[in-house]
Amino acid sequence: MSLPIHPLVTHLPLGLSVLIPLLILVFMILIKLEKVSPKLWMIVLGFQVLMTVSGYITIETGETEEEIVKEVVGKKNIALHEADGEKFVGATVITLVLSIGSFFIDPKFRFRTHIAVLLASIFSFALAVNVGRSGAELVYKHGAGEAYLRNMK
């Protein structure tokens, strides 16, 4: 049996959830002060697409590996972590949609919409922390890694 893919891919969306609010803050200020073109907001959009897509891939890899791990940690614990992951990815989709909308909105309303995007991204980050915590509990409290160690011996 090979190593699980889920722990390998999960770090990308969680890491981006830390980076993106900082990017949004910097870009919204620079755009407001007219130091950069509003078109540079596309960088924020690109990172948000990457976070959402990698979050979805993370959910899919978790579901694929669920059968192996549930024998060690139980279905209930996995279901809680899965629900946390789905909330996080849902929030990234909402943040992405808001970001896309703020790119096309009338410039006089742009800064206000950027604030809404920033708040949504901070909420996504909070959900990322929660899904990371529940994943860590599966591994360190409930022994999820043991499911793979058993089969490697």
Domain assignment present for residue 54? The answer is yes
Which two structure tokens, joined as six digits, stand for 11?
């770090």
pLDDT tens for 68-120 read 899 899 999 999 999 999 999 999 999 999 999 999 999 999 999 999 999 99
Whether 27 maps to a domain, the answer reads yes
pLDDT (tens digit per residue) in 37-55: 999 999 999 999 999 999 9
Integer distance in angstroms from the first to the last C-alpha of the chain?
10
Helix or strand (DSSP H, E) at 140? none
**Tell me, what amino acid is at 93?**
V
Q: What is the pLDDT confidence band of residue 142, given thresholds at 50, 70 and 90? A: very high
Supply φ then ψ for residue 64, to 5 degrees.
-65, -40
Q: Is residue 22 part of a domain?
A: yes
Domain count, the chain: 1
Residue 59 lies in a domain: yes
Q: pTM of this prediction?
A: 0.93
Question: What is the reported pLDDT for 152?
Answer: 65
User: Which residue range(s) make up the domain with 128?
Assistant: 6-152
In a domain, residue 78? The reply is yes
Question: Is pLDDT of 4 > 60?
Answer: yes
How does pLDDT run across 7-23, given as a tens digit for each residue?
999 999 999 999 999 99
Q: Above pLDDT 70, what percent of the chain?
A: 97
The answer as to whether 1 is a domain residue is no
Q: What pLDDT sits at residue 2?
A: 75
